Amino acid sequence: MAEKSSSTQVPVDFGILVFPTFQALDAFGPLDALNMLSKDFPMNLSIIARTLDPVSTKHRDTSLNPFGSNFAESVVPTHDFNSAPPLGSDDLDPMIDFVKRTYPSLKYIFTVCTGSWIAARSGILDGRRATSNKSAWGDTKTVGPNVKWVSHARWVVDGNIWTASGVSAGLDAVFAFIQEVYGAEQAKKIAADLEYERHEDPSWDPFAEMYNLPKEGI
């Protein structure tokens, strides 16, 4: 998510929302590309979470960790939700509120994987084209009944809303974003630095086919 910048044509202030159980690559794939970009442009990153406590990828639902693995990484937030309610049974609620409240001031919003569920639940995707990961497509449609979900897409852009498909798709989408906003040369340079072979066609999506999804929203 890139916050509106006042005087430059490219975004300056970026924020990423992280929550316990987040998927590491969802965050660090795109962030790594943006870390590189920040060498060539003035950019600031806020890592935003409900509290300033380190946020772990670890699942708390033990049914998702049947072997009792202790295998997780924690990232350090730089900001909290500021006015996050002190109570609440659903950790996502403050995040959804935050998206709803903040979106009007944003230049862009960028989601990866089920990040689009949070955007959908905030209402900002209503009437918009968007995508999400492909292994939970039925849930995606339930979460956002008023969203024009695109089933076969590596990523989707509708206005200033960028939604990427599952996990790794965030990398292709962030390179498309860099290309769009910073130019093709920047995207090419960073992909070369990261030795990353991009998928440049947003309709490339073998995973939609793998999960036998009907063609929707196209």
Q: Which residues bind a second copy (CB under 8 A)?
A: 14, 23-25, 27-29, 31-35, 38-45, 47, 54, 57, 59, 64-76, 133-135, 165-169, 171, 192-197, 199, 206-207, 210
**Which residue number, 73 or 139, has a Cβ lying nearer to a second copy?**
73
**Which residue number, 122 or 132, has a Cβ lying nearer to a second copy?**
132
Instruction: Please classify residue 17 by burial: count the beta carbons closer than 10 Å to its beta carbon, then call 0-12 exposed, 13-18 middle and 19+ buried.
Output: buried
Q: Chain centroid to CA 174: how far?
A: 9
| Cα–Cα distance for residue pair 205/196, rounded to 1 Å | 17
| Cα–Cα distance for residue pair 42/150, rounded to 1 Å | 34
| Cα–Cα distance for residue pair 210/166, rounded to 1 Å | 13
**Which residue number, 101 or 218, has a Cβ lying nearer to a second copy?**
218
Beta carbon of residue 2, minimum distance to a second copy (angstroms, whole number): 11
Enclosing H/E stretch for 92: helix 92-102
Beta carbon of residue 37, minimum distance to a second copy (angstroms, whole number): 8
**Which residue number, 22 or 98, has a Cβ lying nearer to a second copy?**
22
Q: Look at residues 187, 210, 196 and name the one whose alpha carbon lies nearest to residue 168.
A: 196
**Which residue number, 64 or 87, has a Cβ lying nearer to a second copy?**
64
Q: How far is CA 3 from CA 11, 107, 135, 167, in A?
A: 7, 5, 30, 22
CB of 24 within 8 A of CB of 112? no
Beta carbon of residue 81, minimum distance to a second copy (angstroms, whole number): 18
Beta carbon of residue 34, minimum distance to a second copy (angstroms, whole number): 7
**Which residue number, 72 or 184, has a Cβ lying nearer to a second copy?**
72
| Cα–Cα distance for residue pair 32/24, rounded to 1 Å | 11
